[in-house]
Chain A
Amino acid sequence: AQKVTQAQTEISVVEKEDVTLDCVYETRDTTYYLFWYKQPPSGELVFLIRRNSFDEQNEISGRYSWNFQKSTSSFNFTITASQVVDSAVYFCALSEASGGSYIPTFGRGTSLIVHP
């Protein structure tokens, strides 16, 4: 069965600090997808990124970067030079290809608080 662990429940940083949110996953499938979503205080869930299991290239999008390492089953998310607007709950998710439904399992989320 698939499982996603976000061990950091809450992280508090001061603006301009770099911060890394950890995500460790478990799956028996060789084909799977990993996602990160952001849930700001307003409540909506915002899609950030999707990676498939065959693409271990790291990705950078502005101040956001993602490090996918199959060897450690991790898909970590780094925010560089954090800003107050980055304050949100961040969810990591995993969906497996087997069964065909690709239903994601979400971690419990990491609450990031960025202080001015």
Chain B
Amino acid sequence: DSGVTQTPKHLITATGQRVTLRCSPRSGDLSVYWYQQSLDQGLQFLIQYYNGEERAKGNILERFSAQQFPDLHSELNLSSLELGDSALYFCASSPQRNEQFFGPGTRLTVL
């Protein structure tokens, strides 16, 4: 158990819908990262937050957004969902510039 929690574990929704994925980092970790893992793209970095502020952006679509709250939990919002958004979404946290500890992931299926 990495100490990072993600909810929900599975999510099935329809195209055009909007969903919110939630992540709670390990106690004491200020950085939260979001990744998308799909068969064709591999593990892709989406966005990083550090202590409530956006720190780095990767291949995140404009339809996706994220935020980190004062209690350090983070949410990833995915809107206008397309079939191609079906993937495993991971959240990770780290004590600054060190190894990242990943949550169990949320498997999103868009039908």
Q: What is A's interface to B at a CB cutoff of 8 Å?
A: 33, 35, 37, 43-47, 50, 91, 95, 97, 99, 101-109
Please count how many residues in chain B sit with their CB below 8 Å of the partner chain's CB atoms.
22
Assembly CA distance A108 to B41 (angstroms): 8
Assembly CA distance A85 to B100 (angstroms): 23
Docked-complex contact A45 and B45, CB < 8 angstroms: no
Docked-complex contact A47 and B104, CB < 8 angstroms: no
- Closest beta carbon of chain B to A20's beta carbon, Å: 21
Contacts of B55 in A (CB 8 A): 101
Docked-complex contact B104 and A46, CB < 8 angstroms: no
Assembly CA distance A50 to B102 (angstroms): 14
Give the contacting residue for A43; candidates B42, B48, B105; CB below 8 A: B105
Q: Which of B48-62 contact A (CB under 8 A)?
A: 48, 55-56, 58
Contacts of A44 in B (CB 8 A): 2, 102-105
Closest to A91 in B: B43
Contacts of A46 in B (CB 8 A): 2, 102
